[in-house]
Amino acid sequence: MTNRGHLIVFEGVEGAGKSTHLQRAAAALRARGRAVVETAEPGGTPLGKRLRALLMDANNAAPTPWTELFLYLADRAEHVATFLQPALARGELVLCDRFSPSTLAYQGYGRGLDLHVVRQLDEVARQGLQPDLVILLDCPVELGLERAGRNDRFHRESLAFHERVRAGFLALASEAPNQFVVIDTRAPADRVHAQILAAVDRCLALD
């Protein structure tokens, strides 16, 4: 597979600070002269935006867990094929807000779908594409939910659901310590930012 660029994924529970820190990292990298592409799942393509609206709408009846999984995977299949692979083939540095670890954490650990099957289906959706680095921004779920302050379908889930998701992310990180870096976002934002940039620099220096 052509993968000359870099795919760096930001992950974490609701309100862990992914989106803010992703934007801040992108700005810092651009200030150093690097071309950076920012994207997100779900919703990184025109079709994905429609899937995201369906998935996040608090007024929609909840889909079954398998339906939900396939909607996220449809979003990923489209994003990988039409956005991520072409960007990586052009050698770009892509910062992506959520990717496969979210599916394993939310649909696998959170919803309780068979992890082995979720992994296999996800591998099909991402066509084997692997992030070069996953930055897991971690914080206690109560703190994250309070910070996020949103009211979409996921924010209405129980605390126990979000605890399973967080534990899932941490389990994924400990299974793949070379791919993940875990950063505690209870630390001051400037320190978190510096840790993120250090992790990105280490990843880019590996070439």
For residue 114, CA distances in Å to 24, 65, 127, 200 come to 36, 11, 20, 32
Kindly state whether residue 78 participates in binding ligand TMP, applying the rule CB under 6 A: no
Say whether 36 sits in a helix, a strand or coil.
strand
**Binding segment (CB under 6 A) for ligand TMP, from list 1-9, 95-103, 124-132, 186-194:** 95-103
- With binding defined as CB under 6 A, does residue 106 bind ligand TMP? yes
Nearer to ligand TMP, 72 or 83 (CB): 72
> Among residues 10, 72, 83, 169, which is the contact residue for ligand TMP, using CB under 6 A?
72
Kindly tell me which of 22 and 200 has the beta carbon lying closer to ligand TMP: 22
Site membership for ligand TMP, residue 102 (CB under 6 A): yes
Residue of 10, 154, 169, 180 that binds ligand TMP (CB under 6 A)? 154
List Cβ neighbours of 198 (8 Å cut-off, separation of 6 or more).
none
Whole-number Å distance between alpha carbons of 200 and 139: 20
If the CB atoms of residues 85 and 107 are measured against ligand TMP, the closer one turns out to be 107
101: which residues sit within 8 A by CB, 6+ positions away?
Answer: 9, 11, 134, 136, 169, 172
Residue in the structure block whose two tokens are 């609206």: 53
- The DSSP 8-state label assigned to residue 5 in this structure reads S
Binding residue count for ligand TMP, defined by CB under 6 A: 12
Q: Which residues pair with 37 in a beta bridge?
A: 94
Using rule CB under 6 A, residue 41 touches ligand TMP? yes
Instruction: Determine the Cα–Cα distance for residues 178 and 134; give it in Å rounded to an integer.
Output: 9
Pairing of strands 133-138, 180-184: parallel
For ligand TMP, the closer of residues 103 and 195 by Cβ is 103
In eight-state DSSP terms, residue 154 is G
**Cα 137-91-19 angle, rounded to 5 deg:** 25
Looking at the Cβ atoms of 66 and 204, the one nearer to ligand TMP is 66
Q: How far is the CB of 177 from ligand TMP (least distance, A)?
A: 22
Between 171 and 194, name the residue whose CB sits nearer to ligand TMP: 171
Q: Does 180 bind ligand TMP (CB under 6 A)?
A: no
Segment contacting ligand TMP (CB under 6 A): 37-45, 112-120, 125-133, 167-175? 37-45
Residues that bind ligand TMP (CB under 6 A): 14, 40-42, 72, 97-98, 102-103, 106-107, 154
